[in-house]
Chain A
Amino acid sequence: MNKRLAAVVAAFVLAASPAFAADTVKIGFITTLSGPAGIIGKHMKDAADLALKELHGKIGGLNAAIVYGDDQFKPDVGRQVAEEMLKRDQVNFITGIIWSNVLLAIRQPVLRSGAILISANAGPHELAGPLCAPNFFSTSWQNDETPEAMGQYMTQHKISDVYLMAPNYAAGHDMITGFKRYFKGKVVAEVYTNLGQSDYQAEISNIRAAKPKAVFVFLPGGMGIQFLKQYAQSGLRGQIPLYSVFTADETTLPAIGGAADGNYEAGFWNYDFDNAANKKFVADFRRDYGYIPSYYAAQSYDAIKLIDSAVRAVHGNLKDAKGIIAAMNKADFASIRGPFRYNTNHFPIENFYLFKIVKTPDGGYARKTESVIFRDHKDAYYSECHMTM
């Protein structure tokens, strides 16, 4: 649903309403819709649209509209989009948000306005700790948790030394920090590559010379596609096991293909989970859009469902801010990850799993859930959060 359609829906609603005007729930969805990262925005938008369709266009019984905004992968544009959504469109909720720097940029204006901010991806540690807020919620994870899980797995399986690699920016450093928090073995090397680097042959030669037991990388988007292909072409794929996070997933596997075969990833959700909510989500998603949803999609789907459950709990009274917040905290909805509950800092307490990249019957490659790494994992920052709700 775009802005035009939303306006038409709202106009219809207002025109057709009886004695008292029915409220429309307006949800602002900020994501990246242009440029190469637009693939992630596509996953998220498709999932949000699917969720709203399942709810028959209603959130908590009220008519609803999702207003999409493109942050163009720039935090200052994201902030501008958020301000417009708050002032011009007067949204009640803002969700989406792929990037940590965009989330940190929009945090102040959104929270100050009283709207509820729900991150469907970004999880910077500031928002899990000192900057937590009653009207902020996450339907994804705290950034460090996924690499923490990988570090835990590798420690549990007695992998004695590992070569680490990530791009040289904030998220890259966070991933390595999270990994090292739980990995108790030896770090052979900690290498930071250029952001957007395409050729990794130099790094691969260094890895080969260092002869580690395993390699752990965080290389999202195009960087990961390139690295994994080059890693396989150098012959290292079978020799030195490769573990990664946010690198080989449903947004990149179509391009990586067999080069990722046998690699490992970690995460809190996979499309093959067999709880009822997830089975329906994945089946409907594949039916409507023709591709396997990623965790970005799953997180966005959950965000819409979460908002629905909260508005339903306050019987459509959008002015009852406290009630909505309390209802969101309860998270009384069927999440695609299974049972869902919130920590004191409004980040989910959830399980983390190990995935292996395998070939699927139709010739593509996807993640297969192998084992549980963490049960009911909490992030490392919640004790720094001092809010009372």
Chain B
Amino acid sequence: MDPLLVLAQALNGIQFGVMLFLMAAGLTLVFGIMNLINLAHGSFYMVGAYAAAATFQTTGSFLAASIAGIGAGAAVGLAVEIAVFRRLYARDHLDQVLATFGLILFFNEMVRIIWGSTALYATVPAFLAGQVEILPGAPYPAYRLAIIAVGLAVAALLYLLVGKTRLGMLIRAGAADRVMLGALGVNVKILYTLVFGLGAALAALAGLMAGPIFTVEAGMGENVLILAFVVIVIGGIGSIRGAFVAALLVGFVDTMGRAFLRPLLATVMTNAAADNAGPALASMLIYLMMAAVLFFRPRGLFPPRTR
């Protein structure tokens, strides 16, 4: 096996992981701070992608599209927070799962009503359309490098925000004991709304960046949503650090599995059998990994020390 290919695939895995992190960060933030399971997180991702693609089509400006994407995602997130989620904070997880499941159905149809059933055209901006020769003989799409850069920047920013700012301190306090926080005079309601908006904006950012390389269609959020949940479950709910590590792990394992599992299996079984077993096993790999992690660490790899 070509070592250069292995390196290239490893890079692919890391990049996929960073994309997952963007999605998972918002999810684990909201879940960790507000103890809210939000299946509609994928819908914010979708709204971000649609708003950005539609804006790009009319204005041709990537900057305008990005602003529109994040803005739309945050706006929809805030609207939903006020209308629906405020009533769900006090409810148990099952209610939250079901209500947000209903929201998924609603948002998926709304984008189809507004933009039709055809997928939207979304492309990478011209200045990022080329390839960069990271490894000799293996040109890498420039846009994906940009995604890695943005993802790492977001990770750093979140780390600073949660760990080093006053707002972050409030967030961590709220996660530990929100009743006490309210008793100390902090407006917990506003705090929640802010955090929720931040989570939605992160999802929208992931969506608008994913649009050019993935398909902008109704239901695009669900696939990524499941992966994001796998990530935060493995990482430990409420832990940004856990989400980062788990996202890279999931991205890496999934990519390497798809790249090398079939050839590896072909060394121990017939080609035809490997053709069947390889893809089947590759599709199950991350779920197996999650089950294994939960078996030994039922609360994930880095469960935050709260409650």
Contacts and interface: CB of A to CB of B under 8 A. Distances in A.
Interface string A245-256: 000000110111
Interface string B127-151: 0011100000011110110000000
Nearest to B257: A202
B282 to A, nearest CB: 7
A371 interface: no
B275 A194 contact: no
A86 to B, nearest CB: 28
A195 B144 CA distance: 23
Interface string B271-288: 000010011101100000
A205 B8 contact: yes
A205 B9 contact: yes
Contact of B278 (A192, A196, A206): A192
A25 interface: no
B193 interface: no
B259 A39 contact: no
Among the interface residues B13, B129, B213, B224, which one has the most CB atoms of the partner chain A within 10 A?
B213
A203 interface: yes
A42 B5 contact: no
A230 interface: yes
A225 B117 contact: no
Contacts of B283: 168, 194-195
Interface in A228-286: 229-230, 233-235, 251-252, 254-259
Nearest to A224: B215
Contacts of A202: 9, 12-13, 255-256, 258-259
A233 B141 contact: yes
A255 B256 CA distance: 29
Contacts of B130: 235
B16 interface: yes
A190 B16 contact: no
Measured as residues with beta carbon below 8 angstroms from the partner, the interface class of chain B is: 35 or more
A349 to B, nearest CB: 32
B279 A168 contact: yes
Interface stretch (B118-126, B176-184, B299-307): B118-126
A234 B220 contact: no
Contacts of B5: 205-206, 209
A68 B122 CA distance: 32
A36 B258 contact: no
Contacts, number: 123
Nearest to B128: A233
Interface string A200-223: 011101101100000000000011
Interface string B218-237: 11100110000000000000
B213 A193 contact: no
Measured as residues with beta carbon below 8 angstroms from the partner, the interface class of chain A is: 35 or more
Contacts of A192: 275, 278-279
A198 B215 contact: yes
Contact of A258 (B9, B122, B123, B139): B123
Among the interface residues B4, B16, B108, B214, which one has the most CB atoms of the partner chain A within 10 A?
B214
Contacts of A251: 118
Contact of A234 (B108, B118, B139, B217): B139
B28 to A, nearest CB: 21
Interface string A178-195: 000000000000111111
Contact of A198 (B13, B122, B224, B279): B224
A202 B12 CA distance: 6
Contact of B131 (A190, A201, A234, A254): A234
B55 interface: no
Contacts of A209: 2, 4-5, 8
Given A38-B112, A206-B5, A209-B5, A191 B262 contact: yes
Interface of B: 2, 4-5, 8-9, 12-13, 15-16, 19, 108-109, 112, 116-124, 129-131, 138-141, 143-144, 212-220, 223-224, 255-256, 258-259, 262, 275, 278-280, 282-283
Given A208-B138, A226-B215, A255-B216, 18 more contacts: A35-B218, A36-B117, A38-B112, A168-B280, A190-B275, A198-B224, A202-B255, A202-B256, A205-B9, A205-B12, A209-B8, A226-B214, A229-B214, A233-B124, A234-B131, A235-B131, A255-B119, A256-B121
13 contacts: A34-B109, A192-B275, A194-B279, A194-B282, A198-B215, A198-B223, A202-B12, A202-B255, A222-B119, A233-B143, A235-B130, A235-B141, A252-B119
